[in-house]
A = this chain, B = another copy of it.
Amino acid sequence: MNYTSEEANILVQALPYIQKYYGKIMVIKYGGNAMIDDTLKESVIRDVVLMHYVGMKPILIHGGGPEISAVMKKLGKEPEFVNGRRVTDAETMEIVEMVLAGKTNKGIVSIINNLGGKAVGLSGKDANLIVAEKEENEVDLGFVGQVAKINPGILTDLLEHGYIPVVSSVAIGPSGESFNVNADHIAGEIAAEVSATKLIMMTDVPGIYGNFEDKSTFISELKIADAKKMIQNKQIGKGMIPKVEACMTALAGAVERTHIIDGTMPHSLLMEIFTDTGIGTMIVP
């Protein structure tokens, strides 16, 4: 590219935000269409690499729903869900792990490296990063777990050497077995544990609405107490609940700001960071 003077000026406008977040850890839950559409994928990841190069320390957390179901179907196994949670028997868990840690994770790593970053892919098993315990539900969901402990040492070691950690949502159980853990929850727990400055959750919608049908009810800032009421009132949809919960977990730690943004909007990540008002819905204490 050859910058014009006006374009260079736009660059300069980013300076106050670059200064503000210099050296800060930013945990990004990467997901939704931004992980499916190839153009969008590269665009989001380039934003992350840019964040790294202007001095921030991004950590990417990802799950990988659609890919898992696709592989399962190829293997002649019908995905089964209870209340939106995947029933995960041993065979399914094996597929989940192969897809998340072997395909999705390394795919993201590869794009980052291709764009000039130095990424290292991790699952929750690496250096015991994410320790899980079985999630108790009315219906037995099998190897579905919840975070019991984060061992963040490998993340800080990698950040210190200039790597971008990419974490898949597979966790390790007490006796070395694998657990399928909600990636949103993992993002919240990791953000809290590494004292991230921001936790940014990517979804496929602009954020939270008082009434999703009425776009004028968009909420740009939402208190935890109000979010809880909205969940009780079923104003917040099922897919959004774990994202809101992740924000709550992060805020209960030392995380300064938590955001739910639209990953399908090009450069939404940068628009959130390099802006006073931000975009999306910010969850506040």
Binding site for B on A (CB under 8 A): 1-5, 7-16, 18-19, 22, 43, 46-47, 49-50, 53-55, 71, 74-76, 94, 97-103, 105-106, 109-111, 113-116, 118-123, 125-128, 154, 157-158, 161, 163, 170, 172, 175-176, 178, 265-268, 270-271, 274-277
Contact = CB atoms under 8 A, between A and B. Distances in A.
Given A12-B50, A99-B98, A101-B102, A110 B5 contact: no
Contacts of A19: 53, 116
A154 B54 CA distance: 22
A38 B63 CA distance: 29
**What's the number of copies of this chain in the assembled complex?**
6
B110 A102 contact: no
A8 B54 contact: no
Given A125-B109, A172-B113, A267 B102 contact: no
* Prevailing SS type, chain A contact patch: helix
Contacts of A114: 175-176
Contact of A12 (B116, B172, B270): B270
Nearest to A265: B5
Contacts of A102: 97-103, 105, 123
B116 A126 contact: no
Given A5-B267, A120-B126, 14 more contacts: A1-B14, A1-B276, A2-B276, A5-B271, A11-B50, A12-B50, A12-B270, A15-B115, A16-B116, A97-B106, A98-B99, A110-B172, A113-B172, A154-B163
